[in-house]
A and B are shown apart, each in its own frame.
Chain A
């Protein structure tokens, strides 16, 4: 079954820690960010690549989205990362410190070569671009539209604050503009956008506030740096009960219509069509309620 996937929480996992990796798919996260960049020291890059590849080939990730954060295109490691990782078919590759659409195009080309060589359908592996500098914020729209593989842009708040010379605060006023800019760029390009991490793993209340703000601003989801943050983020991104109830009605009506082969129908007096059903499925997915699209579309 090809369930609509929720994308509320994206949990970072160090790429060189087998103990954490073996349990990563049962921590409630909608997505996993398997990290080859900051979490892995330079002398451990090779072993981390091999370990990640092994896990991706052997672990059942179920409905969890798997993204690998590779090393930046300004490092000597990113091409080796791709050579090992792409054949294991992650859903996406996350490129850190992306400032220029040309970085994306270079990555796109490198992935395409490996896809062709490995017999992987062309363009099936997506790119998430990380916006982590002032220059990148300025070019967020261009980055979001750099190539069809880009399915999400994400904000890296810690590096961005350093780049613009401010300290991160819990209120996040200093990156509010960047947050909004990233959301607008992503939504205008029709792709997803993920908010930056919340670094205090003992402050669930602060995390809930920040994740709620991110949801309110229009982010699709938010990165988590510890498993304890996952449920808090999922809760903050949960749609309103009214929206969930309406989506359930739409999906129930769509199921019945499909069984009876009815083409046109209404819910609460409003006509329902494919996009409305897809939107309802997305709302239910964000609420953590699984639905099989083939039953309704």
Chain B
């Protein structure tokens, strides 16, 4: 494998057997202005009058023409509640189909069974945003011959549209679907909200199979998210999953004094910059800190009578309260962090369901992340150059997700990373971050409970933060302060002859390589 240094000094391959050629990362905005590619692909046509109802998943797989070496996709909207991926892989295995590329929009904790299908040879390549648990460990231990490719949500949309990911069969869970294939995730017993990732895959796959536990008479009412002209087969199953597990471990306001202090610092920074003004746009995650920041912002907007423009991203119930109270004119929802968001989309005409290309693809005619004023994002760890890792843990194992992190950070006028100064006794700020997912060039500030560090590229923000008397610290000083409490960590024993994951930046260039963990 020929390795070259990219503009961050990270070694990345230029070609990988089984995957193809790659370009090294050249800068967060180096590819801006280049022509977008749109691939043409053949798709199966469904003859007029032919029923799309298929008895079971096994038959649907056979009908789809899936065979060895093809690419299958899934959306991850049900996250830890998803049952569809396992049902499909089980039938694929029993049909003896092997050597597949698994290209879901992401993999959650509950998808760790994928490890079994890698070992059995059913899956030989994985393209994903996130990877965790048993399958993350398997990859990190170098058990896959071909490295996985990690893409951001915007990057995956770009890769699909340009043909870097060519989906043969998309298996899309729907909480309501009619016999023609009109479907949605907004209502039904297993409603999960936005089906944004499914919208992208339905448009781009050679063959689309809708899988639903709520088959309803044609026409599907009152809402269709994916229309019938994109869907080849419809399979009814007992259950597509448990939407109550969709938001496990997140989406509640924190009571941790430390996290509240981080949120307070982030809010004070946003306020000091003067960006919360009429027309304000905002994205925050579903973590406790992000939700607390949103609450502070909500109070500020209410007190000052400010109406913002839009909220973006993974949409949570607290964000919809801002919409319904008139603090934002619209909410753009590529994935819902609360199963009740389907109800919201039905009652709020400006709670829009969008696909990930509209959300974050840098190579189209204008994505929503590029409209953002402020984004508040988390991190596993980060470094003194403001590079951020959201993919590998302190032990070097894959246990995170790229998500929309680098997309929002590159797009927002003010990109803030919030993180506790240390976790489990290990500093969150490193000399050099283990894995770069989001380049420091696109990060404006890092906020911890111990202080705020502003990227030297943003002298304007630095001046405003200092004027507001905020606890601004040089990032190296902040790192040293934390290290004085935690001590330095031992370097991880990576086998640098064995890349296990390639981290693609949103523009398709390689920003970093993750290696096999030896111990």
- A interface residue numbers (CB < 8 A to B): 22-23, 26-28, 58-60, 226-228, 231, 288-290
19 A-B pairs in the complex with CB atoms less than 8 angstroms apart:
A23-B257, A23-B258, A23-B261, A23-B449, A26-B261, A26-B449, A26-B450, A26-B451, A27-B257, A27-B261, A28-B261, A59-B485, A60-B481, A227-B260, A227-B261, A228-B257, A228-B260, A231-B264, A288-B469
**Interface 0/1 of B258-272, CB less than 8 Å to A:** 101100100000000
The 8 closest A-B pairs by CB, nearest first: A227-B257, A26-B449, A26-B450, A23-B258, A27-B257, A27-B261, A289-B469, A26-B261
Within 8 A of A (CB), among B249-286: 257-258, 260-261, 264
Residues of chain A within 8 A of B261, CB atoms compared: 23, 26-28, 227
Residues of chain B within 8 A of A26, CB atoms compared: 258, 261, 449-451
- B interface residue numbers (CB < 8 A to A): 257-258, 260-261, 264, 449-451, 469, 481, 484-485
Residues of chain A within 8 A of B449, CB atoms compared: 23, 26-27
Residues of chain A within 8 A of B469, CB atoms compared: 288-290
Alpha-carbon distance A22/B486, docked complex (angstroms): 10
Alpha-carbon distance A83/B498, docked complex (angstroms): 57
Q: How far is the CB of A253 from chain B (nearest CB, A)?
A: 20
Alpha-carbon distance A231/B263, docked complex (angstroms): 13
Q: How far is the CB of A28 from chain B (nearest CB, A)?
A: 7
Residue of B nearest to A231 (CB): B264
Residues of chain B within 8 A of A27, CB atoms compared: 257-258, 261, 449
Residue of A nearest to B471 (CB): A26
Q: How far is the CB of B436 from chain A (nearest CB, A)?
A: 27
Q: How far is the CB of A263 from chain B (nearest CB, A)?
A: 30
Alpha-carbon distance A23/B486, docked complex (angstroms): 12
Residue of B nearest to A226 (CB): B257
Alpha-carbon distance A196/B469, docked complex (angstroms): 29
Residues of chain B within 8 A of A290, CB atoms compared: 469
Looking at B257, B258, B449, B481, the one whose CB has the most chain A CB atoms below 10 A away is: B257
Residue of B nearest to A290 (CB): B469
Residues of chain B within 8 A of A228, CB atoms compared: 257, 260
Q: How far is the CB of B159 from chain A (nearest CB, A)?
A: 41
- Are A58 and B257 in touch, CB under 8 angstroms? no
- A23-B257, A23-B449 known; 14 new pairs, CB 8 Å cut-off, are A22-B485, A23-B258, A26-B258, A26-B449, A26-B450, A27-B257, A27-B258, A27-B261, A58-B485, A60-B481, A60-B484, A227-B257, A231-B264, A290-B469
Q: How far is the CB of A58 from chain B (nearest CB, A)?
A: 7
Alpha-carbon distance A226/B261, docked complex (angstroms): 13
Q: How far is the CB of B261 from chain A (nearest CB, A)?
A: 6
Alpha-carbon distance A27/B258, docked complex (angstroms): 7
Alpha-carbon distance A290/B469, docked complex (angstroms): 8
Q: How far is the CB of A232 from chain B (nearest CB, A)?
A: 12
Alpha-carbon distance A45/B43, docked complex (angstroms): 75
Alpha-carbon distance A23/B484, docked complex (angstroms): 13
Residue of A nearest to B451 (CB): A26
Residues of chain A within 8 A of B481, CB atoms compared: 60
Residue of A nearest to B481 (CB): A60
Alpha-carbon distance A5/B404, docked complex (angstroms): 43
Q: How far is the CB of A245 from chain B (nearest CB, A)?
A: 15
Residues of chain B within 8 A of A289, CB atoms compared: 469
Q: How far is the CB of B469 from chain A (nearest CB, A)?
A: 6
Residues of chain B within 8 A of A28, CB atoms compared: 261, 264
Residues of chain A within 8 A of B484, CB atoms compared: 58, 60
Residues of chain B within 8 A of A226, CB atoms compared: 257
Q: How far is the CB of B3 from chain A (nearest CB, A)?
A: 41
Alpha-carbon distance A288/B471, docked complex (angstroms): 11
Alpha-carbon distance A51/B163, docked complex (angstroms): 60
Alpha-carbon distance A58/B257, docked complex (angstroms): 21
Residue of B nearest to A227 (CB): B257
Looking at A28, A58, A60, the one whose CB has the most chain B CB atoms below 10 A away is: A28
Residue of B nearest to A22 (CB): B485
Alpha-carbon distance A289/B467, docked complex (angstroms): 10
Q: How far is the CB of B468 from chain A (nearest CB, A)?
A: 10
Alpha-carbon distance A26/B481, docked complex (angstroms): 12
Residue of A nearest to B449 (CB): A26
Residue of B nearest to A23 (CB): B258
Q: How far is the CB of B112 from chain A (nearest CB, A)?
A: 30
Alpha-carbon distance A109/B10, docked complex (angstroms): 63
Residues of chain B within 8 A of A231, CB atoms compared: 264
Residue of A nearest to B262 (CB): A26
Q: How far is the CB of A291 from chain B (nearest CB, A)?
A: 10
Residues of chain A within 8 A of B260, CB atoms compared: 227-228
Residues of chain A within 8 A of B257, CB atoms compared: 23, 27, 226-228
Alpha-carbon distance A231/B484, docked complex (angstroms): 27
Looking at A22, A58, A290, the one whose CB has the most chain B CB atoms below 10 A away is: A22
Q: How far is the CB of A198 from chain B (nearest CB, A)?
A: 16
